[in-house]
Structures are given as structure tokens and as C-alpha cells.
Amino acid sequence: MTDLSLRPAAVTIDDLAGDRNATRPDTLFSNGAKVAGYLVLVILAAIAVSTTTKAWPAFRSEGVGFFLSDNWVPSQGHFGARAIIYGTLVVSAIALVVAVPLSIGIALFITELAPRRIRSSITTVMDVLASVPSVVFGLWGFLILRPDLKDFYNGVADAVSGIPVLRSVFGESLSGQSFMTAGLIVGLMIVPIITSIVREVFQTVPINEKHGALALGSTRWEMIRGVVFPHSTGGVVGAVMLGLGRAMGETIAVALVIGASPQITANLFGQGEAMPSVIARNLNEASGNYRAALIGLGVGLFALTILINISARLLVKRANATKGAR
């Protein structure tokens, strides 16, 4: 900082450039903006530190068993979250099986098939789908879908009751609340996010190569398989992982339709429990070690989604970097 009293009285070039009037506000402004920029990093770090601290009692008393043991009985102080983690993984897997083919299909429809003038209306449909709150999907799933799905599940279970492996995967459904119901709804909810990223990736495929393939007599599908897919593998994998991250963290819809009973079973029509949903339903009433254990699940979820998101973003970034080569 220049000391104003030592400045010569004569007008210098600095004064003409507005040094005294402009530079101070300028540094203030840029530093303010910089602080706001770093805020994101500060918040992420604060989340990690503060949640881990509050979860520490549970981690300390359960040790590795917190994630590996299958004994979740809060009333007796047993906190082994394996069945809950299993539920999260199963629901996310079902969601991906549902969402990935749909999303890639829609993204291809938008980029390759749809006439230009209806493209923006499809994007609007996707935006609206993305903006429906999770709790509304959950309400619909719980009150409207669940009774019908229960009959459907039991119909399927009867139909496959004689077939060895299918019999255990598609078993009886007690209430219609199940891994499958949660997976279907979450799958629907992550379609817009996967679609929007896959679409961006597809749009980076060089148009010359697409035209080349078509000029050589490829059908549209052969062009997609031969040009679009090979160019987009990395980006599509990244998009799918982002969808996975979203599916794992999906809370309220899952809390309403999964059934709230932690168990490890092959039966996709059976009731289960997932990490975010057990937190959402119980954290308010919990205290002591139970509270610490629920926060601990949150720490696990945070770590898992951060890891998935970091690798997914790196993949998408690398895939989109080819944009410059076009």
C-alpha cells in the first residue's frame, strides 16, 4: 500500500490512470470475489470435518464393524450398517439398469433423430421431469404405484415360483415397498441428469465422421454404433457415474417406498433400507450413539458420492476435451 502523505504533489501518470481512485476498489473487489470462490472449498472441508467429528463416537465404538457388520439394532446399541449399504447399492443398481438405456435412447433421439424444431420441447420435458421434487415422486410411488406394483410383483413371483434362481430374485412382496419400487422411481428421477450429459457428449462427435459413415452407405444405427458410440465411451461412462452418485444420495422418495427394514436378501421385491433414507427417517429423534451412527452413515455417503463424482467429472472432462480438436 502506498502511503498517501509521501506522494509528490505533482500530478503523475498514476493519477491520470485513476490509480488512487480505482486500484483500491479493484483489489477489494477482486479479493471479495476470490473469497466467495474459495467458499465452496471451505464448505466442502467443513462438511467433512464437522460430520466426521460428530460421528466419531460411533466409529470408535463399532470400528470397522460399522461398515462390515450386519447387526443394526439401535435399541441395543448395535450399529452394523452392511445391510443398509447393501440396500443403497441394490437400489442404485436397479436405478441404473432402468435409467441408462432410457437416457442414451433419449439423448440419441435428441441428437440424431428428432427434427430440429421439436428438440427444444423434448428438452423442456426433461427439465420438467428434473424439476419434480423427490418427495412428490415418493408420494406418488407410495400412494398410487405401491398397491399396483404389489399385485404385479406377486404375479411375477407366482409365475417364476418353479424356476430355481429367478424364484429367489423375484420373491413375494409383502407391501409393495421394496428395493425394486425404490429402484424404479430413482431410475426415473436420474434420467434427466444422465440424458443431459450424454447429449452434450454426443454433440462433440465430429460431424465429418458422421457424414462420412452415412456417405459410405451406413444406416443411421450403423453410423451411431460405428462413430457416435466409440467417440463417446468415456463421457457416457462419466455420465452414468454421475447418475449413480445421484441415485445413491436420493433420499426422500426412497424413504417412502423402500420399506424401512434393513436386510440382505436376493429378493428384489422384498423390503429393505438405504443409507440416506434411514438417516432421513430417524435422525430427528435419535440421540447419543444412535445419532452418531446415523451421522456416520452420512459421512460414508458423503465420501462415497464425492469419490464417484470426482472420477465421473474427470472422465467427462477428458471426453469433452476432444471438443477442441473438432
Residue 200 binds another protein, judged by CB under 8 A: no
Kindly state the DSSP code that residue 7 receives in the 8-state scheme. Answer: S
Instruction: Considering the complex, state which of residue 219 and residue 233 has its C-beta at the smaller distance from another protein.
Output: 219
Kindly state the DSSP code that residue 74 receives in the 8-state scheme. Answer: G
Least separation in angstroms between residue 50's CB and another protein is 5
Residue 182 binds another protein, judged by CB under 8 A: no
Residues 6+ apart with CB under 8 A from 52: 299
- Positions in 124-153 near another protein (CB under 8 A): 124-129, 131-140, 142-144
- CA-based R_g, the chain, Å: 26
Least separation in angstroms between residue 284's CB and another protein is 6
Least separation in angstroms between residue 311's CB and another protein is 10
Distance, first Cα to last Cα, the chain: 47
- Round to whole Å and give the CA distance between 171 and 162: 11
Kindly state the DSSP code that residue 175 receives in the 8-state scheme. Answer: S
Which part of the chain contacts another protein (CB under 8 A), choosing from 1-9, 28-36, 67-75, 167-175?
Answer: 28-36
Q: Which amino acid is at 65?
A: G
Instruction: Considering the complex, state which of residue 29 and residue 323 has its C-beta at the smaller distance from another protein.
Output: 29
- Round to whole Å and give the CA distance between 138 and 144: 10
- Round to whole Å and give the CA distance between 120 and 110: 9
- The answer to whether the CB of 84 falls within 8 A of the CB of 297 is yes
Residue 121 binds another protein, judged by CB under 8 A: no
Residue 97 binds another protein, judged by CB under 8 A: no
Binding string to another protein for residues 262 to 301, with x set by CB under 8 A, is what?
--------------x--xx--xx----------x--x--x
Residue 10 binds another protein, judged by CB under 8 A: no
160-162-164 Cα angle (round to 5) = 90
Residue 37 binds another protein, judged by CB under 8 A: yes
Phi, then psi, of 261 in degrees rounded to 5: -135, 105
Residue 44 binds another protein, judged by CB under 8 A: yes
Binding residue for another protein, selected from 12, 14, 15, 34, defined by CB under 8 A: 34
Residue 315 binds another protein, judged by CB under 8 A: no
Residue 321 binds another protein, judged by CB under 8 A: no
Least separation in angstroms between residue 154's CB and another protein is 21
Residue 162 binds another protein, judged by CB under 8 A: no
Least separation in angstroms between residue 204's CB and another protein is 15
| CA–CA distances in Å: residue 181 to residues 157, 171, 271 | 15, 14, 10
Binding string to another protein for residues 56 to 95, with x set by CB under 8 A, is what?
----------------------------------------
Binding residue for another protein, selected from 30, 161, 168, 233, defined by CB under 8 A: 30
Residue 229 binds another protein, judged by CB under 8 A: no
For 94, counting Cβ atoms within 10 Å of its Cβ (0-12 exposed, 13-18 middle, 19+ buried), the class is buried
**Buried b / exposed e across 30-48, counting CB within 10 Å, b at 16+?**
eeeeeeeeeeeeeeeeeee
- The answer to whether the CB of 193 falls within 8 A of the CB of 312 is no
Least separation in angstroms between residue 304's CB and another protein is 9
Instruction: Considering the complex, state which of residue 95 and residue 301 has its C-beta at the smaller distance from another protein.
Output: 301
Binding residue for another protein, selected from 32, 63, 155, 288, defined by CB under 8 A: 32
Cβ of 187: how many Cβ atoms within 10 Å?
25
